[in-house]
Structures are given as C-alpha cells and as structure tokens.
A and B are shown apart, each in its own frame.
Chain A
Amino acid sequence: MILLHEFEDEMITCTMCGFCRQVCPALEERGWESYAPRGLVSIGYGLLRRGLHPTKAMIDSVFACTTCGRCVAKCPPQTKIRDIVLATRAVLFQGKSTPKSVTKLLSNLARTGNIYGRTRNKLAQKHSAAVYFPGCNIRYRHPEILKSSITLLNRVGVNTVVMEGADCCGAPALLAGNLGQFHTIARANSSWIDTTRLIFSCPIGLQTMKEEYRETKGSASASHLTEVLSQAIGSIHFRETSETVTYHDPCYLARMLKVVDPPRSLLSSVPELRFVEMADSKENTRCCGSGAGITEQSTPTLSREIAATRIKQAREVGAERIITSCPYCLDQLRKVSDGLPVDEISVFLASRLQSPH
C-alpha cells in the first residue's frame, strides 16, 4: 500500500538536514526548494497535515521527480522519499491534478493495455519455457531490442518465448498515482508470473514486478537479460570492436535491483573494446531524466536538461559510445547526445555476435 497517511512518521522523522540536496537531478536543474527531495517530503506532509492544496509548483515538482531513488540512498536514515512521492502523486491523481500528458498514457493503458494506445490481439499462452516480457516501450517503440534479446537468449541456449498475453507491467499507473489501475494490472499479471521464469530487458518492468506487486512480492522468478547472458558468458563470442565505450546504469536496475556487474562483464567480453567508467556509476548512478517515462511527459525541458548532464559526463571520460540497458534511458540520452552514439546493450551485443561455429 502506498497511501500518504502511512508515511506520516517517515515525514516527521526526516530531520530536513538537506543531505539529499547533493544528489537530486531535478533540484540541480531547477534550484527551487520544492524540487529538493526534502521539499517533496514537506509537500507530502503539507497535503496530509497542513491543509496545503495542489498548486502549479506542487504538480511540477512532484512529477519532475524522476523517482531515481538517489536521495534515498544518500539519506542517512534512508527516509522513504520515493515512496512518499508516489503516495503524493496518488493524492494528486485523486484530486484530478495529474498533468494531462501523463493521464494520456493512463487512458491509453486503460483502453488498449499499453501506454501508446496500440492495438493487437493478445494471445493466451502456456508458459512452460522462460518468458521474455518486453513491456510497452520495447514492444511498440523498440522491437529491435526484443529481436536482439531473443537472438542472444537463443545463442546461450535459453529456450524463450515472448509474452503475448500482456503488454504492461503497470509501472506507468503506479508512477502516475493511479493506484486502482496499477493494482488491477498487478493482480492480472500476478496470476501467471509466480509460476513463470521471466526475463526482462526493461528495468522498470523488472523492478515493478519484483518489488511493487504486493501479490507476488519476493516470489517472482524474474531476471534482467544481462544477468541471464552473463551466466553463460563463455558460450557467446563477439567480434572485435575497437571502440571506447561507457555504460550508463539505469537507476531502476543498478540502484534499486543492484544489477551492476553483469552488463560490465558482457561488455568486457567484447574483444578490443575499451571500457571507461563515468563519474556517478553503478549503484550511485546519475539519472537520465526520463523518470520511467513520467518526468519525460510532465516536464520535458527539465528531463532533457538532466540527460544533457549525463552526456557531458560520458564525454568527460572520452567515451565514443554509450551503452545502457533500459529503453527509457536509451530514448532519453539519444535526445540530447549531439552525435554521441547511444545503444541498448542487447542491440549492441547482437550486432557484434560472431557466427556460431
């Protein structure tokens, strides 16, 4: 449950020390106290206890939060700032104060089962083998990631079928504050996920199913593609690639799910590839600004400014290419990369596969 009143003690326990100010990408760009993580805690408290009403500044800052979680990691008492933000968004949703660009995603989702409003026949499946769950973004905007992922999984001998019965993990509804819609999706998905081995390329879907579904919390057998591939690293061989490459850790994969080594192991197995690490990497990664698609919709300019800082960090270490493992990070970084190539990891690796002997 993420109802605001359940976090009242969390909000009171926050000493307002301001240590969170150091790491917030939205605050860095905007500067106003309402964008600071502790400002978001104040807003939650204000709505709950001090008669604060939604205003333009509130809606902007609450939806500008990218939910990257870096503030929570920095906070000495680990105040559940991200959860407070999600609960605050739920209050704003109930009060019909969600930005229109965000509610559009939700109405698409309600109508078609995916945030882009695309229609297709959804097939019921028997899930005996491993199931690859693409999620809305990869299925409709990045089919090349789906294709490359399946190619790589086949190469390492993991018998995989693509999920055809459902498109959405529910994260857009959760992150936009429509808890009813989220729980409906979560319940529907929970009926099959606990008996299925799931593989994701999208960290948002993976984190949502592993950590946000109360029905199956902790029981879902779900992994990121890079985890599966890195376990079979000896069985795939890549062509020589003489290039200086850096890796952008998606917040949901690195900070929340602690998956940081598998993508690096995979990239290191590409002959001749020079790997350089950016500042703010691994669990301490810096957000791309997408906010799992929500910040990108609600505050697009801010979202791009945050991404531009990440691109600058990649250039500072001399990277000729950025690799990431999240479709949202991919789109976001590409928007502002100014000629610096950005690739998703499965697409990068699949295009460099050596023919099987």
Chain B
Amino acid sequence: MRGHEQALARIVGKDNVSADETELFCYSFDASIHSSGPNVVVRPVSAKQVSRVVRYASKRRIPVVPRGAGTALCGHSLPWHGGIVIDTTRMNRILETRVEDLYVVVGPGIVYSELNSSLKPLGFFFPPEPGSADVCTIGGMVAVNASGIKAVKYGATRDYVLGLEVVLPNGEIVRTGSRTVKNASGYQLYRLFVGSEGTLGVITEVTLRVAPLPDYTATALASYEDLEAAGRTVTKLIKSRLIPAALEIMDKTCIQAVNKSLRLNLPEVDGLLIVEFDGHRSAVEHDMNKAEQICRTENPTTYTWSDDPATRERLWAGRKAVLPSMSRLKGGQVSTSLADDMIVPISKIPQLVRSIAMTARKEHLTIGTYGHCGDGNLHAKVLLNVREKGAWGRAWRACREIYRTSIALGGSLSGEHGIGITRAPFMKMEHGTELNLMRTIKAAIDPSNIMNPGKLSLNQVPKTFVTRLRYPVGR
C-alpha cells in the first residue's frame, strides 16, 4: 500500500492520507456490530480531489468507500473488501444559503446540527433530525435517507434533496437535480443516489430544501401500564387528523435504560408516548388539547405537557440517548443494532410490538423497543452477552422472525438507518425481483463494482449478520 499512499498523497496532500496501522484500525469501526478496515484513508477537500482519487482507484479496481462521521448502524461505512476510505469530514462548508429560494448548498461533511445552527438565525431549518444529529454528516444522511423523530410531519432526507453533485465510479463529476423546489426534467436521478449507501458514487455537494422554523413547540408525555394501549393511542391520534411534529414510543426496558444513564426520572411503565406539536401557538394549543382528550381515552397513568425549552431538551436528550444507554442496563450485556429499524403501516404498530415481545420471550432475549410510532418506524435493540456464541444464534433467529413479521405486515426492513451489511441477508425477503433491478442499475453505473462493494446485497448475499463481529465472541 506504500505506493498507493504516495500516489494519493500527491492528490490530497501528505497530511491527508494515512496507511498507519492504528489509523486503519480506527476506521474499521462504525456504530455497527462489525469490524472491517481499509488499506488507506484519504481526507479530500474538494470534488476535484475526490474525482482524482476515484479515478486512481477505478484504473486499478481498488474498492472505494465514502465515510462521513461513521455513525452508521449497519456497517455501511466499513470497507468490506478493503481499499480506500474517503473521509468527507473536511468537505464541511456551507456553500450557499438562499432561504428566499428555500435552499442551502453544503459540502457532504457538514454536521447536521452545525447546519441547523447556521440556519436558525434566519428562521429556517433542515428538519429530518436523526438521533445522531449532533455528529452525523449531511452526506451520510443522504446516503442512507436518514430521518428521525420529526418524519411524521416533516418527512425524511429524500424529501429535501433538490440536487446533488456526485463523483461517479469512473471519476466523472456529475450534477443532478437543480436549485428549485421542484423539477420535471427527466429521470429524478438525484433521488436514485438518496439511500444508495455509497454504492453508486461519492456525494460531494448537496442542495437541500429548507423549512421555516416553527414559532412555538409543546411536548406531552403520556404513560401507559400496557404497551398496546400506547399503540392504540397512536392509531387514534393519527386517525383524528392530527399531525404531530413527533410521536414517539418507548417500552419499559428503554425507559429504565435512560433513567439509569441520564437520571431522567421518567415513569417506568410498559409504554411511554411522547407527543409533540409545533407551529403557531394557538394551533399548537388546540392540537395539544385534542391530543390530551385522545390520550386519556386509553387511561394513561400520567399525562403531562410542557413548552419549557429546557424541559423539552432534557426529554429529547433522553430519547436520543436510548441506543447507547441500553448498554448500561444489564451488566455484561451490550446494546446491538440488529433488527433496529423496521417500518410498518402506522396502524400495525401494536401488532409488531406484540410480535417482538413474543419473539424475545421465545429466544430468551432482552429486546428494548422504541421508535417513531407516528410514522410506523420501530427500533428494537437486542441486549446480548456479546462474548457468548449461542446468544448470536438466538439473536439471528429472533431478528429473522421480526423482519418476516414486518414484511408480512406490509412494511420494510428499514425506515431510516439503511441496509449496510447487517441487514443485507434480508434484502431478498423484502424486495424479491426488485433486487434484480437494483443490481442492474448498480452494474450499469459501477461495472467494476468498486463503490462500497459488499453492501445492500447487490453482489454477494451474506448468509447471516453474524460475520466479522467486532466483539471477542467465545472469549
């Protein structure tokens, strides 16, 4: 790799390329259960540099894997077949802000919350706030079509992407889409790159639609002794023509986890709902009253609401910390992202919740369930003794069952985290012959298969997600 390192240094500068063993090891992790490292990492600063790096790789058929903050939960940013990791975090500039035209143009490496901090004084924001909002990059969000708590009202990243600049697998730089809020000019190719997980090219610039910041926000907390009562409340709220800005559910395991980690003192009940409305104050108060009446029909043990920013911020910090906090719940058990992002039609949430609980009992597993019930998206975090080989077998069977149920209910493997490696074994189950179409598109754009190979089940289909685990299994 020494030769590659020197050649790449001529493109990005010697301080922005590394083949140091320690550095490569650190790039062999993201927030997934897997570990797989590159041969060299580059940190370019422009599309031109990215293009030259990709052209270099293309000529030699070296795999190229784009990486933002490395917060992906399913191994998207891990180089499964080695090669070059392109770390985009230096491409973090805001290139143009035009709120009067409802768009902003950014480099892929800008962090979500930093973009919103710069839009805030102008009264605008980019809404699809993921749990990792303070660290994840916009490029990564586009690559997996990320979203979060606000999707029920504001939608996902794909709903805001107006245009992209992408370096194709042959090194060519293409621009797709426009700086307009709509266009009807041929294939909507920029949308093809949304959710492509780096398998079609490297995103080097993003034009995003922005939305006006709401004037007023209020958040309610309703606790239920029965998780299904919470689920029924969700269906009633949606049916009543209310559109909350966020509608979240947490089960007892998750509540206990964040209470333990962050001392939040949330009521430790079977099901907790967080309901948020935003907009003009009078409209929010009207919606909040209506929501309270609906929530009370299922006999909550407690119901409170607040418009105090500090209280709300604390609550949301707790909600965003569920994932990592779960690892502290039971000594020796680690929170793993395995079946963590199923999405079903909203009214099927109670059925999915019931099914997850049954599966957990059957396989003797602790599974914490939480998520964006307002849009049908559930996260189920499996707590595992990661050293125990048998635990992984039980987790595999449980997740396969949960995915089967989700798909049978009319849902999908992933609402917002993407597929990567962990969920690749299930792609055929959801997509059937559609997967062949995806493979045809991949082969047309990347015939040498250098862009993030091994992901999305496009070339090889891994038999199981219990592969290249980062944990000391059996030790």
Contact = CB atoms under 8 A, between A and B. Distances in A.
A32 interface: yes
B23 A16 contact: no
B22 A46 contact: yes
Interface in A1-49: 9, 12-19, 21-22, 31-34, 36, 38-39, 42-43, 46, 49
A56 B323 contact: no
Contacts of B28: 42
B4 to A, nearest CB: 17
Nearest to B43: A31
Contact of B27 (A17, A33, A49): A33
Given A13-B327, A55-B20, A46 B71 contact: no
B69 A55 contact: no
B29 A22 contact: no
A39 B20 contact: no
A77 B386 contact: no
B132 interface: yes
A76 B324 contact: yes
Interface residues of B, number: 45
Interface string B366-386: 000000000000000000001
Given A46-B22, A49-B472, A75-B324, A31 B90 contact: yes
Given A33-B23, A57-B20, A16 B30 contact: yes
B18 interface: yes
B135 interface: yes
A43 B26 contact: yes
Nearest to B70: A18
Given A12-B472, A49-B472, A77-B328, A18 B31 contact: yes
Contacts of B87: 31-33
A231 B57 CA distance: 66
Contacts of A16: 29-32, 70
Interface in B123-154: 132, 134-136
A120 B417 CA distance: 63
A52 B135 contact: no
Interface in B9-34: 18, 20-23, 25-32
Contacts of A21: 69, 135
Contacts of B70: 16, 18, 33
Contacts of B335: 15
A246 interface: no
A209 interface: no
B328 A61 contact: no
B108 to A, nearest CB: 14
B334 A43 contact: no
A36 B135 CA distance: 12
B210 to A, nearest CB: 22
B262 interface: yes
A345 to B, nearest CB: 30
Nearest to A49: B472
Q: Identify which of A18, A38, A46, A58 gathers the most chain B CB atoms within 10 Å of its CB.
A: A18
A34 B261 contact: no
Interface in B346-405: 386-387
Given A55-B22, A57-B23, A75-B324, A18 B135 contact: yes
A3 B21 CA distance: 23
Given A12-B334, A21-B69, A42 B25 contact: yes
A18 B73 CA distance: 11
B134 to A, nearest CB: 5
Contacts of B332: 9
A34 B471 contact: no
Interface size, A (range): 35 or more
Contacts of B41: 32-33
B412 interface: no
B89 interface: yes
Contact of B69 (A18, A34, A50): A18
Q: Identify which of B25, B41, B134 gathers the most chain A CB atoms within 10 Å of its CB.
A: B25
Contacts of B427: none
B180 to A, nearest CB: 34
B388 to A, nearest CB: 12
B328 A13 contact: yes
A78 interface: yes
Contacts of A76: 258, 261-262, 321, 323-325
A18 B26 CA distance: 12
Nearest to A40: B26
Interface in A301-344: none
Interface string A187-213: 000000000000000000000000000
B54 to A, nearest CB: 20
Contacts of B135: 18-19, 21-22
A253 B273 CA distance: 39
Contacts of A46: 22, 25
Given A15-B323, A76-B262, A77-B261, A34 B22 contact: yes
B280 to A, nearest CB: 31
Contacts of B26: 32-34, 36, 39, 42-43
A126 interface: no
B8 to A, nearest CB: 15
A50 B69 CA distance: 23
A100 interface: no
A53 interface: yes
A34 B19 CA distance: 12
Contacts of A39: 26
Given A12-B334, A52-B25, A57 B323 contact: no
Nearest to B85: A33
A33 B69 CA distance: 9
Nearest to B472: A49
Interface in B54-108: 69-71, 87, 89-90
A38 B261 CA distance: 18
A15 B327 contact: yes
Nearest to A32: B23
B323 A17 contact: yes
B154 to A, nearest CB: 23
Q: Identify which of A36, A77, A78 gathers the most chain B CB atoms within 10 Å of its CB.
A: A77
Contacts of B18: 32, 57
A19 B21 contact: no
A19 B132 contact: yes
Question: Considering the complex of A and B, which 7 residue pairs feature the smallest CB-CB distances, nearest first?
Answer: A76-B321, A57-B20, A58-B22, A76-B324, A33-B26, A39-B26, A77-B328
11 contacts: A21-B135, A22-B111, A33-B41, A42-B26, A43-B22, A50-B25, A57-B18, A57-B23, A61-B22, A76-B261, A76-B321
Given A12-B387, A32-B87, 13 more contacts: A9-B332, A13-B327, A15-B327, A16-B29, A16-B70, A18-B136, A22-B134, A32-B43, A33-B23, A57-B18, A76-B323, A77-B324, A78-B328
